[in-house]
Structure 1
Amino acid sequence: MYTSPPISNPDNIVAMDDVSTYLSINRTLFRICCIFWIVSPAEGNVIAKVVGSQVTLACNTSNITVQQLTWQLNSVTLISYRPEDMALFTSEEAANLKINMSLSGTELYSLVIDGVQRSHAGSYSCDIAALEGVRIHEWELIITEKKEGGKWRKQMHVIAVATTVLCVCCLIFIFTFTILRRVSDCRAEDNSEPAPVTEQTGDVYENCLEINVDRHRSCQPAHYKPRAHQC
């Protein structure tokens, strides 16, 4: 005997659709948050200085054998140095900006700028070619006219940005979850079957008939036979 395949429960289908939609939205939100976090500048690579102050950018060369070190500003070579033959090259750009590199002491290979101006702002990089491999250190130098607090203010700014991003992601997550939950509940209510009322209706109808018959009987007038006169 052929039996028809079981029909899937509509509620389960709706629930699966809501779950898939929910997961896809969450993946999209997660990617947006990650991209926003990656694009936002890191505190250690951004340096803000006031006009006229001194700037020192330290290039870490510990535990490596440097073959050549090159400083660049906005992809333009400023200074290049080879320790093996002590060959030092200083470009015209570095000379005009009065940028030097330290070759002694604890600030070895550090880039030193005395009295920074707005023309010094930009992206700096220290490219190291060593026996152990290639290393690149990068900074973003920002020059301001007025002093804007201390280091703690920059830290508070970074914390505030991170907290804002996290709060926005949480709010979007909660809002999306609430909407999906309400949509799922509404669909479940629409697909639910009404309770059978046939038997109850029949009982009520029979009771009404019995009540009407009783009322009809009680309302009929009584017929009295005349009594015979006794002599």
Structure 2
Amino acid sequence: MLHTSGGMLGFSRNVRLSGAIFCCITWTFCTADVTFISKPAGSTVTLNCNTSISDLGQLIWQLNGEILFSFLNVDNGTLHESPAASRLNVRLNLNQSSVQRFALIIERANKSHSGNYTCETATIKGILIQKWELLITEEPENFQIYIVVAAVVIPVCILLLIVCVVVLRRSSKQKPKKIIRSLRPKKQTEAVYENCLEIERYHERLSGSQP
């Protein structure tokens, strides 16, 4: 009996030791490399968590250690959405016919969506952990505003420049005409004055020639 009890104790120790080694090996293989993703603000970001519903027990999406979604595959599936997911306006793809089922979808991403994302799935094969580091670059809205302003201001400036050139050309052509017009009346008055003098001289000659 002592031998049996000692054997049972040794067996239990071996089981515990094997379990600890198995957990360490499982943790080592489940900790995947981090995938770095950089996207401009305003774009749609999709993070695919590769898993199959047939052997899925539980799925958890996290951002910087905070749970966004937890899906428990019991009784047709139970989904829990955290307040953080609602605040960030992210959603989980639950379309059964989609190959991207359980993917995390971020629409109109902004800087608040930057961070470390983790998808942890528990299946009959073990635990699988997938990680992403998402970086959202500067807001494209400011850049778009600059483009719109440039697209409006540049044509307006070109149009104003063309109008100024046309006005200057017209004004330069009209100035000699004004000078000519202003001189014409003077020439006419001088000619009329000369004609009057000749007429008076003619009358004086006639009056002088008469007895």
Structure 1 length-normalised TM: 0.43
Structure 2 length-normalised TM: 0.47
